[in-house]
Amino acid sequence: GESVGLHLPTLSVQEGDNSIINCAYSNSASDYFIWYKQESGKGPQFIIDIRSNMDKRQGQRVTVLLNKTVKHLSLQIAATQPGDSAVYFCAEEGGTYKYIFGTGTRLKVLA
């Protein structure tokens, strides 16, 4: 079936550096993608989204890039802070608000 996967299960970065979290998706028909942040014991928090008619979208300290040619998403976090430590999931809309979540990447920010 269709799936969304991540390349790196764990990413460690120094505080202040930029982080890049990657995600591959397999459904070329998907037209909406979201990045979520999940802290331990909590529900996912929306970070940023992007539609397939765009290839880049910026938020506050975060940027999502979409490469439809290779079906790849990335989340870039600028000047990573300790509060950014969490698990990050990409999610792909699998039809009528049904989202398929990737396996997740744990981001560890080193002081």
Q: Which two tokens stand for residue 8?
A: 């790196």
- Angstrom distance (rounded) from CA 33 to CA 48: 9
**x/- site string to another protein, residues 36 to 65, per CB under 8 A?**
x----xxxxxx--x----------------
In whole angstroms, give the CA distance from residue 89 to residue 100. Answer: 10
Q: Which one of the spans 18-26, 35-43, 55-63, 72-80 is the region binding another protein (CB under 8 A)?
A: 35-43
- Site for another protein contains 24 (CB under 8 A): no
Q: Closest Cα to residue 35, out of 107, 98, 97, 102?
A: 102
Q: Out of 21, 23, 99, 109, which residue is the one contacting another protein (CB under 8 A)?
A: 99
Size of the site for another protein (CB under 8 A): 20
Q: Which two tokens stand for residue 12?
A: 């460690």
Among 13, 22, 24, 32, binds another protein (CB under 8 A): 32
